[in-house]
Amino acid sequence: MSGVLVTGGTGKTGKTLVRELRDAGVRVRVASRDPAAADPDAIRFDWTDPTTCAPALDGTDRVFLLPPVESVDPLPLVEPFLHRAQRAGVRRLVMLGSAIALPNAPSAVEMSAQVQAIRTAAGDGRLGWVDARDIAACAAALPADQGADARSDYLITGPCEMSYPQAAQIITAQTGRQVRVERTTEEEQAAAYRASGMPADFAAALAAVERGIREGHEDRVSTAVLELTGRPPRIFAAFVSDHAYEWTP
């Protein structure tokens, strides 16, 4: 029996991917630490519990893999799963990787409902902000591509680079919610992450990512969304407009 296992299936990208695949008639198993009792294809999966791997993989031949978050080196947890997936006959694996944001961190919409400031050590550095719906659409396209010459990795970005101050201006202009940017140092940001409960090494690594943004290392865009889905990626202003009812004070 064929099907797709979606790890992190209840998160922002995973939930959208599940919907995309099911709309296309693909059988999907939704894996998460807290599976929905109402979903017959939901199953418990926890990176820290190896006994959940085999049941999650049983009967699937493709996997969307969201590595464990809050880990500087997730390989010790992921590698045994990859070996098990190979033995189980998984034909294709699509992994979501990001050096920019935590996959389970609050989205822009979720944050805006609680705060009126973006606290960052990235300064005016720019990055290719991408809509989670576009990430999911790309992931949905990849498992169906079984060509031997398929690329092994894609840089998925939005259509243009944008700084945090620019994002704040767009949110403010379109929603009426005054969003300001609070500039901080890398050390202060790391301390704030630690105070929120993150492990110290991961907090330092995440704050260092913001330094990389400030220094221009993430100022880049790609055509991956267009290549994989046949349509251009959504612009940030369109994302804000689509969620205006959630952003409005």
Give the pairing type, strands 4-7 and 62-65: parallel
d(CA 48, CA 14): 19
Burial of residue 37, with CB atoms counted within 10 A of its CB: 0-12 exposed, 13-18 middle, 19 or more buried: exposed
Tens of pLDDT along the chain (249 residues) come to 578 999 999 888 899 999 999 998 999 999 999 998 899 999 999 998 999 999 999 989 999 988 887 676 777 888 889 989 988 888 888 888 654 444 444 444 444 446 478 889 999 999 999 998 999 999 888 765 455 455 668 899 999 999 999 999 998 998 888 889 999 999 999 998 888 778 888 889 889 999 999 999 999 999 999 999 999 999 999 988 888 777 665
Instruction: Please state at what angle helix 132-144 crosses helix 12-23, rounded to 10 degrees.
Output: 50
Q: What angle do CA 218, 221, 225 make, to 5 degrees?
A: 130
C-alpha angle 64-65-68 in degrees, rounded to nearest 5: 155
Question: 3-class secondary structure for 158-194?
Answer: CCCCEEHHHHHHHHHHHHCCCCEEEECCHHHHHHHHH
Q: What is the DSSP letter of 231?
A: S
Entry pTM: 0.75
Domains assigned to the chain: 4-97 (3.40.50.720), 108-130+156-247 (3.90.25.10)
